[in-house]
Structure 1
Amino acid sequence: MESSSGANEKNLCCLCCKSGPISSRFQIDRRGYVPGESIPIKAEVTNHSNRKKMTRSYASRLEISHGEILPGDSDVWNGDLLRVPPVPPSELQGCRIIEINYFVQFCVSPAGPAFKLEIPLGVTIGSIPLRATLQQYGFAPPSQGLGHPERYQEGAHATAPPEEIMPPPSYAESVFGTVNIKDDADTDFTKGDMNYAPVYTYYNWEQRTQTSAPM
């Protein structure tokens, strides 16, 4: 539930000429999300250089962007939503050779030859929503809590979670798409579909809200 923020500044140079700086501050409201949630992007960019700028924020293969920032102007991102796509959860417990880490990166792209200004913020992608997310979409009353992912805590006793408290997820094809799983031992006589796309936990909150709405 902790928020995360970062800042960066860069001076632009072109041959022997040095332009004014571009500066940016970037913040997200928390560090933990599940696929299907949207990350509110809050940021501010100030352009003290003599070049136009374009800003964008992206996670995995998805991105959102704003238009140009003229010299001397600034731009504010006040909660633009970046949807978390279907991806495998962070880390990979039980595996010593693969580690999965995710970042949301805010990027300012100067016009002309120059390096981008980038601010990456680490996030954890899980498969079970935080209690605050359940409350936001009406699945958990504020006075009740969610303990272990498979148990619902009520006072000193743990019981199975009511259906309206812990909604079952759906599953969606990985944002990374289909891969060919043919290996070196396979031949032209190997039969079957060699294209495979894994699926991961995905919460379609808007659809659930519409489904649960009273008739």
Structure 2
Amino acid sequence: DSDSGEDFLGRVGADLFEDDETPRRRPTRRGWTPGFHDVVDRGVTSFEADVGGRRVCCRLGYRESGTGSSVWDGAVVLARFLETHPSLVRGKRVLELGAGTGFGGLCAAALGASNVTLTDIEACLPLLRENAAGVDGVVVEALDWTEPVAPSQRADVLLAADCLLPGREGLFAPLATTLAALLAGDAVAYFVYEQRCMDCGPFFELLRGAGVAVSCIPDDDLHPEYRAPEIRVLELRR
């Protein structure tokens, strides 16, 4: 069974990665996605993957912030988790937070989501629109976590991957508030993060304070080839 929210929150940090002497490690290059230097120095401009028997293609870009323009490993873990359990999104309204290239949401569309909304800040929307062009049932909208959520942005399933980053701890509270607002009724979120050189505990405390229950998806429920000890897939509910 998945860990309870209390058990998980009590283990965030070193205890969650008890086999590692330095749990707040820097990102590991696993070869699943093009790296920063592949995009900038080698001119890699796209990322493609077969998901659920369909080809998902994302154009990559470069932003000085380094975010919102490439596919990160957490997004791949999320996509392959959904591919392993397609009923989680099939026939559902899906909204991706901090979508970046939109890979997670596009994979949900490939797996049969009834409609998908890819959201991010305004600066990321041109690339998102390019990747969503021509994909049935996929729309792109601005969603800034520091602003109120629009009623039209409710969904059955929320997706978020690699939204907790070093140096961006100031976004913990806005992201927690946004998730809590979107988790209405029976909505569920699948939230993927990679433990890097930062303390994510305060973010999960904010979620709990907002009435969000956090459980950790067991590794055995993830895709056997796309999982890593430092990458966690969480289920969030109100």
| Structure having the higher Rg | 1
TM range (shorter): under 0.3
Name the TM-score, length of structure 2 as normaliser. Answer: 0.19
Name the TM-score, length of structure 1 as normaliser. Answer: 0.21
Q: More relative contact order in 1 or in 2 (CA 8 Å, sep 6+)?
A: 2
Q: Which has the higher strand share?
A: 1
